[in-house]
Structure 1
Amino acid sequence: MRISSVTIFEQSVSSMNRQQSDFLKVSQQIASGRRVVNPSDDPQAASRAVGVDQARAVTQQHADSRVTARNSLAQTESVLNSVSDAVTSAKTLLVQASSDTLSDADRQSVASELRGVYETLIGQANATDGNGRHLFGGYQDSTEPFVKQDGKVEYVGDNNAREQRIDASRLMKVSDNGQAIFQSVPSGAGHVATAGDGNTGNVTFKGPQIVDQESVEPNRAYEITFDDSTDPMTYTVKDLDTGASVANGDYESNGDDPVRVQFQGLALELEGEPSTGDSIAVNPADQGNTSIFATIENALGVLENPTENAADKAALRNTLSTSMRELDNSLDNVLTTRASVGARLNELDVVDSVGGNRMLNYEQTLSDLVDLDYAEAIGEYSLRQVGLQASQKAFADMKGMSLFQFL
């Protein structure tokens, strides 16, 4: 069987092209560091690599989301720290103003300092993050959530909290609305006593204190009223929910020892002389004033006005006593929110650790699927290089195999 010269040349060229293609493929793998450069190199590995790469991208997106969430929570925690310091300063000023040794001028000086704390709190409540969004406005974060209207601070945000997905199965709150922080009290805050607006006597109170926890009904509101038509004067404690009287007795004040009024596990200590019709309300903390700003506004209202008689002094003491109790509850609420923010920051650290391990697993899986074994590739490179050189040498020798050279 004779083989034509054309066939010999075609086979030689085809062999050289094949060897060169294999050599270039190995060269490309070494240059890119990847075993699977094209899907055709290993279709199954390429398909799995696409899925792993997508999962890795989603995990990276969640990691970026956690960075944003951490920044927002860290700013919130910093602001709440400043708020707690301001509330503590306000409480200290009210304790100072409660001293009977202060004159009206002294109390106005305290009021001036307290107003500075008040303005600071408003500024903190309207704090923004690095993007200009207000931290405590809920979804309405483009405008200030707290505004002054007729001398009082009002909340104009909503009661929502912005959330962010930090992992495939975890949606985390990255902010708290201002109503929950500045206009709420923690559950179980107890009761707060408040003197009636129309009181004309000079009765003052301390408390209420809990004397029997099992007897306390946390959601009940009470009112203490006085009647001087009898001798001695009497008091009546009425349950405002049922209208029933839960306690009554004689009000006999000797000026030295306070009159102790005890009812439903609670007790108040009363001093001074009430008038008929005077009242003291004892409400659950969450049913009365829960706004930090309203509390300070009430305190400023009595501190900035002179006390002209015993009734004014009693109103001063009662308002400051109520304000201090309300500030305690507000501070507890701020600290509770701050603790919640700290817990979320800790959770971010845990989720970061889990996400980091997941990313390492994805990287390892992706490497196993498509990355190149350099030792094996270099051996293959040398082999393909020798094969290409042999093919070229064979072709060169084949060209010389002709009878015409012997003529």
Structure 2
Amino acid sequence: MSEFRISTGQVFDNIRDRLQETTGDLNRTWDRIAEGTRLSQPADDPLTAVRLQGISREQVADSRYLENSASLDALLAREDNTLTAYGALLQRCRELILQAANGAMDPASLRAIAGEVQGLTDGVASVINSRGPDGRYLFGGFRDDQAPVLQKTDGSWVVNNDDPGQRQVTIAQGWQMLANDTAVELCFRINDGQGGTFNLLDALGSLHNLLLAPGEDTNEQLNQSLQAVDQGLNQVFRVQTEVGTRQHIMAISNESLDQRQLYAEQLAGELGDLDYAAAMTQLNREMTALEATRKSVVQLAGLSLFDYL
């Protein structure tokens, strides 16, 4: 009697273990069918699971790079528009200088031109102190939380921060792009054509003073002002060209990232998508095994001691 109870208990334990194992296999297969994935847990295929995890990390990183590029592209587009406005102001200054150089201009006319030059100078400073949608200054460099240029009480213009470096944004692995340009290069380090630099805002201020109080060498000084404005325009065009180049490079980078994303999705699909025909075959096999195990339990439960006597 004791031996019978022990052997029966062992049989029940074995069948119970088998039942749990078969039920677990069946549930995992159902999960894969419901999710459309071949792997419901890493243990199903450790090597493939590791590859899928790597692909997922790459996709997350590439998505972040694309987001960075989108934000940077919007910022550079705003800068490009701002530089266009800057160039338009300088172009108007150039026209006024040529107008003032006309020998028929009387002092009253020159004063009127001086008033417009003053307004244009203020406009240039305002453009250089432009802010983005986030309230940060476009041309502030690393210190984009304060206005880049400031006018002193004596009328001269100075850089308002001590850190005009250019920020960088990562647009792809190991690839960074300049995110902004600075007031220093746009206003305070204009090439004078002779190996030196000058402050464009102060040059416009000198032009204003000249028009208010012309002298014997007015034409010569107007010619110098014209050269200064032309150099300023060249600098604006150069920076604007660089901005366009960055946008073009980002477009190429983004196209490459989009292709990588597409390839990663296809590869992940090939590795992880479910073969439904094979899954249904496996499901039927597991259901058959589960049913056989259940019948074994029923048959064993129906036995009595008298069946063994």
Relative to the length of structure 2, the TM-score reads 0.88
- Pairing 1:177–2:182 present: yes
Tell whether the 8 Å contact from 1:184 to 1:330 is kept in structure 2 after alignment: no
Alignment of 1:192-231 (within 5 A): none
Structure 2 letter corresponding to 1:138:
G
Over the residues paired in the alignment, what is the CA RMSD in angstroms? Answer: 2.6
Structure 1 letter corresponding to 2:156:
K
The aligned counterpart of 1:210 is none
Classify the secondary structure of the residue corresponding to 1:165: strand
The aligned counterpart of 1:76 is 79
Alignment of 1:279-298 (within 5 A): 284=194, 286-287=195-196, 290-298=198-206
CA 1:139–1:11 in 2, change beyond 3 Å: closer, same or farther? closer
- Pairing 1:86–2:112 present: no
1:159 Cα deviation after fit: 4.2
Structure 2 letter corresponding to 1:301:
N
Structure 2 letter corresponding to 1:358:
R
* Counterpart-to-counterpart distance in 1, 2:83 and 2:212: 28
The aligned counterpart of 1:147 is 150
* Counterpart-to-counterpart distance in 2, 1:400 and 1:121: 98
The aligned counterpart of 2:21 is 18
* Counterpart-to-counterpart distance in 2, 1:128 and 1:24: 58
The aligned counterpart of 2:258 is 356
Alignment of 1:89-168 (within 5 A): 89-149=92-152, 150-157=154-161, 158-168=163-173
Structure 2 letter corresponding to 1:291:
N
Structure 1 window deviating more from structure 2 (37-46 vs 322-331): it is 37-46
Structure 1 letter corresponding to 2:208:
L
CA 1:390–1:135 in 2, change beyond 3 Å: closer, same or farther? same
For residues 62-108 of structure 1, give each alpha carbon's deviation from its aligned partner in whole angstroms, at most 9, with x where no partner exists: 22222232122122111111101111111111112222222222222
Alignment of 1:329-368 (within 5 A): 329-368=231-270
1:113 Cα deviation after fit: 1.8
Structure 1 letter corresponding to 2:157:
V
1:165 Cα deviation after fit: 1.8
1:6 Cα deviation after fit: 3.6
1:404 Cα deviation after fit: 5.0
Tell whether the 8 Å contact from 2:32 to 2:40 is kept in structure 1 after alignment: yes
The aligned counterpart of 2:207 is 299
* Counterpart-to-counterpart distance in 2, 1:180 and 1:11: 82
* Counterpart-to-counterpart distance in 2, 1:85 and 1:322: 20
Long gaps (5+) in structure 2: none
Classify the secondary structure of the residue corresponding to 1:154: strand
For residues 7-64 of structure 1, give each alpha carbon's deviation from its aligned partner in whole angstroms, at most 9, with x where no partner exists: 4444433333222111111112223333222222222222233333223322222222
* Counterpart-to-counterpart distance in 1, 2:277 and 2:206: 80
Which protein shows a greater Rg? 1
Structure 2 letter corresponding to 1:174:
A
1:385 Cα deviation after fit: 2.4
* Counterpart-to-counterpart distance in 1, 2:96 and 2:157: 20
* Counterpart-to-counterpart distance in 1, 2:12 and 2:176: 69
Alignment of 1:232-381 (within 5 A): 284=194, 286-287=195-196, 290-305=198-213, 307=214, 312=215, 314-381=216-283
Classify the secondary structure of the residue corresponding to 2:133: coil
> How many aligned positions are there?
304
1:296 Cα deviation after fit: 1.2
* Counterpart-to-counterpart distance in 1, 2:276 and 2:90: 65
For residues 318-374 of structure 1, give each alpha carbon's deviation from its aligned partner in whole angstroms, at most 9, with x where no partner exists: 221111111111101110110000000000000001111222233333333333333
* Counterpart-to-counterpart distance in 2, 1:120 and 1:374: 68
* Counterpart-to-counterpart distance in 1, 2:23 and 2:271: 26
1:4 Cα deviation after fit: 4.6
Long gaps (5+) in structure 1: 191-283
Tell whether the 8 Å contact from 1:182 to 1:334 is kept in structure 2 after alignment: no
CA 1:292–1:394 in 2, change beyond 3 Å: closer, same or farther? same
* Counterpart-to-counterpart distance in 2, 1:42 and 1:159: 54
* Counterpart-to-counterpart distance in 2, 1:61 and 1:103: 62
- Pairing 1:387–2:304 present: no
Considering fraction of residues, name the structure with more helix. Answer: 2
Structure 1 window deviating more from structure 2 (54-63 vs 322-331): it is 54-63
1:402 Cα deviation after fit: 4.5
* Counterpart-to-counterpart distance in 2, 1:118 and 1:165: 36
1:131 Cα deviation after fit: 2.2
Classify the secondary structure of the residue corresponding to 1:333: helix
Classify the secondary structure of the residue corresponding to 2:235: helix
* Counterpart-to-counterpart distance in 1, 2:28 and 2:166: 56
Tell whether the 8 Å contact from 1:185 to 1:332 is kept in structure 2 after alignment: no
The aligned counterpart of 2:50 is 47
Structure 1 letter corresponding to 2:199:
S
Considering fraction of residues, name the structure with more strand. Answer: 1
